Amino acid sequence: MRVAVRPPALRHWFSHSIPLAIFALLLLYLSVRSLGARSGCGSRAQPCVPGGTAPFQVRQESGTLEAPERKRPPCLGPRGMLGRMMRRFHASLKPEGDVGLSPYLAGWRALVEFLTPLGSVFAFATREAFTKVTDLEARVHGPDAEHYWSLAAMAAWERRAGLLEQPGAAPRDLTRSSGSRTLLLLHRALRWSQLCLHRVATGALGGPDAGVQCSDAYRAALGPHHPWLVRQTARLAFLAFPGRRRLLELACPGATEAEARAALVRAAGTLEDVYNRTQSLLAERGLLQLA
């Protein structure tokens, strides 16, 4: 007698990708509607980026006048979102070459907080990231906390304890993926964030749109690891990507365009430092194939 059992990969695909895709489509729909409503431009035909001649909007958040010759825009200051993210990620780079998990995850929390208001594509990516951050935090503070203070310590312990997945195979139970595998997935998302922010910061006026640049970054960093349906959903979501000016304004409120670009370049640089360090640690341990 034969019992029809759906293969695990297919079951995984169904249980994971379809709700995700539906959620993302919903977000896309809502954001296209709200973008259209806010800026008076539709989702088709007319780009939502204001024409190249409009002056960059300088927002006065508090009403207090600030000196025009500031050295550092508020977004990089002690209360600024970008500054907070950079300090945390920076603290994760241990002098001995390791990556501290607690500050790395704190950096990720700040990155999620920073990206979420930027648009539905980011919400799409960060929602996934957030559950992974929470999952790893539970380990950092869990019963095995002594093994989860750094990337190297975690990888060594999970290998010793036989917790690592076979390369290329999805874990039997998705909620019990190893910490190393969860970190690898976050690591790829960090790459996308880094490439996207850097390109938004450095893109020339009249060059490709921020949405095109970040969509290319998605294809390079995440696309090869996502199933077809998720890739198509992401492709659609990038159509609702905010324009460069809007992104810069949201990223660094109250700053000039030049200040906002410079701040984002620095933030992307910090992400690149962390990405490079993590990449070497994962590669040295043969962990890049875990997922």
| Contacts with ligand NAG, residue ranges (CB under 6 A) | 269, 272-273, 276
Q: Of all residues in this chain, which one has the CB nearest to ligand NAG in the complex?
A: 276
Residue 269: CB minimum distance to ligand NAG, A: 6
- The answer to whether 73 and 254 have CB atoms below 8 angstroms apart is yes
Distance of CA 18 to the CA centre of its chain: 21
Min dist CB 266 to ligand NAG, Å, is 11
Report the nearest approach of ligand NAG to the CB of residue 275 (Å).
7
DSSP 164-185: SPPTTPPPSSGGG--HHHHHHH
Q: How far is the CB of 288 from ligand NAG (least distance, A)?
A: 14
Token output for 231: 């890739």
d(CA 132, CA 136): 6
Nearer to ligand NAG (CB atom), residue 216 or residue 272: 272
259 to 69, 131, 201, 253, 281: CA distances (angstroms) = 11, 33, 10, 10, 34
CB of 227 to ligand NAG, least distance (A): 28
**Quick one: 189 or 274, whose CB is closer to ligand NAG?**
274
Nearer to ligand NAG, 218 or 275 (CB): 275
Q: Can you tell me the distance from the alpha carbon of 273 to that of 270, in angstroms, rounded to the nearest whole number?
A: 5
How far apart, in Å, are the Cα atoms of 242 and each of 55, 125, 200, 222, 230? 17, 15, 11, 20, 20
Least separation, in Å, of the C-beta of 267 and ligand NAG?
12
Kindly state the smallest distance separating residue 202's Cβ from ligand NAG, in Å: 14
- Could you give the angle at which helices 210-221 and 179-202 cross, rounded to 10 degrees? 150
CB neighbours of 196 closer than 8 A, spacing ≥ 6? Answer: 213, 214, 217, 218
Comparison of 92 and 177: residue with beta carbon closer to ligand NAG: 92
Closer CB to ligand NAG, residue 236 or residue 265?
265
Q: Which is nearer to ligand NAG, 216 or 273 (CB)?
A: 273
Taking the C-alpha atoms of residue 236 and residue 29, their distance in angstroms, rounded to an integer, is: 10
Return the structure tokens found at 163.
């917790």
- Is residue 82 within 8 A of residue 251, CB to CB? The reply is yes
- Identify which of residues 58 and 283 has a Cβ nearer to ligand NAG in the complex: 283
C-alpha span between 69 and 195 (Å, rounded): 29
